[in-house]
Amino acid sequence: MALKTTPFPDWLACPVCDELHIRPHLLDGQIALCKNCGNHIVGRNPHGLDLPFALSLAALTAWITAILLPFIHVSFGGQNQTVSLPSAVTMLAEHSMTLLAAFVGLLLIMAPLCSILCMLYLLIFLNRNRKPPFYRFFLKAYSRTRFWDMTDVYLISILVVLVKAVHMADILLLYGFWAFCLQVLCIRLAFAALPPRDIWQVLITSSTLPRPLPGKRAMEAGLVSCHICTLVHSISQKRCLLCSSPLHSRKPQSINRTLALTLTAAILYFPANLYPIMITVNMGEVISSTILGGVILLWETGVYSVAIVVFFASVFIPLAKLIALSYLMGCVYAGRRIFPHDQTKLYKIVEVIGKWSMVDVFVVATLAAMVQMGPLATIEPGIAATAFAAMVVITLFAAETFDPRKLWDRKPEEKHAHEPERTGTS
């Protein structure tokens, strides 16, 4: 099954700092860390492929249950409403909230389903020691869809919904919700057990006597590493021979793209915070609330922990992300390698926390789908909901377009002036 598709199967370059390594022969349960920046490069699950297979099968069963069964029940002023996940999407679309319906449908329903199906498909073949047909497509789809799966963020949103609506209505979480929780747990464990980069390692054969490394960093040695499967190629190669991804020594126009996206997100931050995110009509009375207004209301109600969570997710994290990305771009623009370890850690934090800002968007979407009771009470998203959702998605793209390897690059004059420094961590 294994493929040997490049003259350099024995080498591996860290995707964060570009340091070259000899490809390790890992046993089950072992991971390989970058000796320069400490980044987790590749690993082998201690339970082999059986555990991720069982987890993804359980996640698929839970997903089907969560879709088919009712999710939440609302009682308000003698009116009752039961909402399932698909009916929430339909309801949002029917009430002209197309963008929110698309976010809920894609990020909470389709992304987890696609990642579960891709994982199951690949594992069915890999468990039999066979190369999966069309494996390039399915591995890439698995990498992409697991990035956009935001079901874990949605669980926090449900907690906020319960706290916000506790004085307005009686809310009952039904079987669909508990199946959804089980799906989130199984899929997170499956993701942790089988990162996409680790799947590719099954397909790469390295020789038992690896050749010595030609240099310390891939670019300096005239090599380029595939960011999807880790296979190292000559710098003249345009596409990865294993996974067909485009090869770039550094992401093209990385700083320009990150700058454009960060500026767009920064502009959207103002309408997202100044305009109402949610409009409630209760017995004819119209109440508009902004993000910060919602936080203050939660605080005044005495639900301090939820107020702090919403403040961090909706106000602090987006702003901190914009500042952090601007700082990282400034470091690269200055062209000097100062504190690259700390800057790399900062970049990883930005990557991890980004999606948690979607909490408020999902809260508004859930309340809007739940509370559509005609003249009695309705909740609709304000203009800020669209601006905020767009801002979060744009900052996710901004973090993705940034190339952390540039933090480790130096100007040619600096390269000659200093001996390269090395700090082993593994």
> Which spans of this chain sit near Zn ion (rule: CB under 5 A)?
14, 16-17, 19, 34, 36-37, 39, 226, 228-229, 240, 242-243, 245
Smallest separation (angstroms) from Zn ion to the CB of 407: 10
User: Nearer Cβ to Zn ion, position 42 or 240?
Assistant: 240
Q: Which C-beta is closer to Zn ion: that of 46 or that of 246?
A: 246
Query: Closest distance between Zn ion and the C-beta of residue 356, in Å?
Result: 25
Residue number with CB closer to Zn ion (153 or 229): 229
Of 9 and 381, which CB lies nearer to Zn ion in the complex structure? Answer: 9
In the complex, the smallest distance separating the C-beta of residue 8 from Zn ion, rounded to whole angstroms, is: 12
Token readout for 307 is 């107020």
How far is it, in rounded angstroms, from Cα 122 to Cα 126? Answer: 6
Closest to 209 measured CA to CA, from 6, 9, 426? 9
Helix (H, G, I), strand (E, B) or coil at 204: strand
Q: At what angle do helices 175-193 and 50-68 cross, to 10 degrees?
A: 160
What are the CA-CA distances from residue 84 to residues 74, 90, 109, 238, 363 (Å)? 12, 10, 12, 47, 15
Per DSSP, which regions of 10-52 are E strands?
11-13, 20-22, 31-33, 40-43
Written as one string, the DSSP assignment of 65-98 is HHHHS--EEEEETTEEEEE-HHHHHHHHHHTT-H
The nearest distance, CB 214 to Zn ion, in angstroms, is 17
Residue whose structure tokens are 């959207």: 268
Least distance between Zn ion and beta carbon 249 (Å):
14
Amino acid identity for residue 343 in this structure: Q
Nearer to Zn ion, 19 or 380 (CB): 19
Query: Which of residues 14 and 221 has its CB atom nearest to Zn ion in the complex?
Result: 14
Residue number with CB closer to Zn ion (350 or 379)? 350
CA distance 314 to 292: 8
Tell me 284's DSSP state: T
CB of 384 to Zn ion, least distance (A): 39
Pairwise CA distance, residues 395 & 326, whole Å: 11
Asked if 362 and 157 count as a contact pair (C-beta separation under 8 A), the reply is: yes
Give min distance, CB of 239 to Zn ion, in A: 8
